[in-house]
A and B are shown apart, each in its own frame.
Chain A
Amino acid sequence: MIDFLIGLFLATLIISLFTTRLYGLLLWYSLNSLTLGLLALFIGHELDDMAMLITGIVTILIKTIGIPYILKNLSQKFHFVRQINPEIKVQYAIMLIPAILVFTFYLSEPITQMINENNNYIAISISSLFLSLLLMMEHKNIAPKIIGFLSMENALFLLGITATDGMPMLVEFGIFLDLLMAIVVMNLLFHNEEAKV
């Protein structure tokens, strides 16, 4: 089941790389966070870790429902461009994504040798880190760049869950607070963007 969810995580991230609509991108981000939250719940259930269960629920509440909703409201408020065409052509993306995956799978091999259990998941989380970097790179508009930043955070969260049997809950909550702060800061950024136009 954990394998299935990790696969779904990577799949939603890859589909979001090919999306050309802002609301579609928000939907895929929300599904990505949903699989992440479910993953945290499953691993927490396996390890019998109360803190991880709470982080899973908070992830689902904030990242699956909260942040996409706020971003959608913001984009309606500031009349964003809803058609976001990737700067990297699809033909090149088809070549690039498998290349990134192969590269990161071999890149993470020394790390996976150090960790005994769940060593497959580290490769996937590092590769999803690179893929969300690609998501940030391939768009010119600010909204998809923010989604790329948020999915990078998701990838780090996945790395945290799978590699280290769960970070302390205080750290997780600090990250969540940072994220909400970041959204507020981005709100100001949007104001600037609006002023320029």
Chain B
Amino acid sequence: MILYFLTIICLLLLAPILLSFIKALKMILLFKKPISLLQGYRNFSKLMQKETIISSETSSITRYAPFLVLSPLLVTMFFLPPVVKGAFYVSFVDAFTITGLISLSTFFLMLLGLDSASAFGGMGSSREAFISALVEPAMVLTIFSISMMAGDLGIGQAGVNLAYNFPAEHMSSFLFAAISFFILLIAENGRIPVDNPETHLELTMVHEAMILDLSGVYLAIIEMAASVKFVIFSSLFVSLFIPFGLEYSPVVAILIFIAKLFGVAIAVAFVEVNMAKLRLFKIPNLLGISIVFAFLSLITFYVLGY
């Protein structure tokens, strides 16, 4: 039980560092002077000290929504597969619960965008609804197929099963699910082929458009939610699709896990540097590829698996 809480705290502390790491790596690749890895914490403490201004046009949703964006993600943190051997984990949570919690958080983010009644907020919300409606079926299918391969519908149990007896005969099906989930990781976290997190240009904003009217504590909470979301996705990717290293002693296992998280961050940074942002109406094509691969992994599991 102690290990369980320790890993969750460790992941939460790691969340801002990972996003700053991606940013720093991108700056190095673009021959700029990189930002510090602690920039996420600096931004957080700066925003906490600032005054919080709320537009007089808004309703009470704006006061509640930032907390409701963060809380489903924090709940999801408790359902992730275990990082070290012998740690407690919640075994009954399946693909639908995880996807549902993440989309609940997205739903409140969209409400927050609509509530300020600015043109940008509504635009961002409609785009986010457009993307997340395409992400959800693919995500359910992918996690479902990986848990079928692992032989258990619960995600925690599936992660443990994959680490101990890896289904080598389902390798092709496993690969399809991994490709699909990596596309989802990029799409749902608003990284470059889908959304550029660094600009405030009208044509490209999705996530930034919704939180344009926020300031102070609320903005800090939303940014924290974004980094927690990245940690959730990357640790799901790591424990379901790169499953090894669970059998070592706790300290080594956690170090291996963190190294793998940074590996995912490096992959995302390289994709971001090497790709141009897609037009908004081309995004269904990318997510369509993801849905095809998710479906394909289920088909290959069922038809060829036995």
Contacts and interface: CB of A to CB of B under 8 A. Distances in A.
Interface in A1-44: 1, 3-4, 6-8, 10-11, 14-15, 18
Interface residues of B, number: 23
Contact of B171 (A4, A14, A97, A124): A4
A102 B293 CA distance: 13
Contact of B303 (A1, A6, A18, A102): A102
Nearest to A101: B299
B172 A94 contact: no
Per DSSP, chain B at the interface is helix
Given A10-B172, A11-B179, A98 B288 contact: no
A15 B289 CA distance: 7
A123 interface: yes
B299 A18 contact: no
B288 A91 contact: yes
B303 A7 contact: no
Contacts of B284: 90-91
A43 B168 CA distance: 16
A15 B284 CA distance: 14
Contacts of A123: 303-304
B131 interface: no
B280 to A, nearest CB: 14
Contacts of B285: 18, 90
Contacts of B170: 3
B291 interface: yes
A14 B304 contact: no
A102 B298 CA distance: 11
Interface in B58-74: none
Given A90-B288, A94-B291, A101 B171 contact: no
A124 B296 CA distance: 11
A93 to B, nearest CB: 7
Given A18-B285, A105-B304, A11 B176 contact: yes
B304 A7 contact: no
B296 A98 contact: yes
B193 to A, nearest CB: 13
Nearest to A98: B295
Nearest to B297: A7
Contacts of B303: 102, 105-106, 123
Contacts of A18: 285, 288-289
B169 interface: yes
Interface string A88-115: 0011011001100110011000000000
B240 to A, nearest CB: 16
Interface string B146-186: 00000000000000000000001111111110010000000
Contacts of B171: 1, 3-4, 7
B38 interface: no
A101 B300 CA distance: 9
Contact of B289 (A3, A6, A14): A14
A120 interface: yes
A10 B304 CA distance: 14
Nearest to B171: A3
Contacts of A11: 175-176, 179, 293
A153 B91 CA distance: 47
Nearest to B284: A90
Which residue, B168, B174, B288, B292, has most C-beta atoms of chain A within 10 A?
B292
Contacts of A101: 296, 299-300
25 contacts: A1-B171, A3-B168, A3-B169, A3-B170, A3-B171, A3-B172, A6-B172, A7-B171, A7-B175, A11-B175, A11-B176, A11-B293, A14-B293, A14-B296, A18-B285, A91-B284, A93-B288, A93-B292, A97-B296, A98-B299, A101-B296, A101-B299, A105-B299, A105-B303, A124-B300
Interface of A: 1, 3-4, 6-8, 10-11, 14-15, 18, 90-91, 93-94, 97-98, 101-102, 105-106, 120, 123-124
- 5 tightest CB-CB pairs across the interface, nearest first? A7-B172, A3-B171, A7-B175, A105-B303, A120-B304
Given A7-B172, A14-B292, 20 more contacts: A3-B168, A3-B172, A7-B175, A10-B172, A10-B296, A11-B176, A11-B179, A14-B289, A14-B293, A14-B296, A15-B289, A18-B285, A18-B289, A93-B288, A94-B291, A101-B299, A101-B300, A105-B303, A106-B303, A124-B300
Interface of B: 168-176, 179, 284-285, 288-289, 291-293, 295-296, 299-300, 303-304
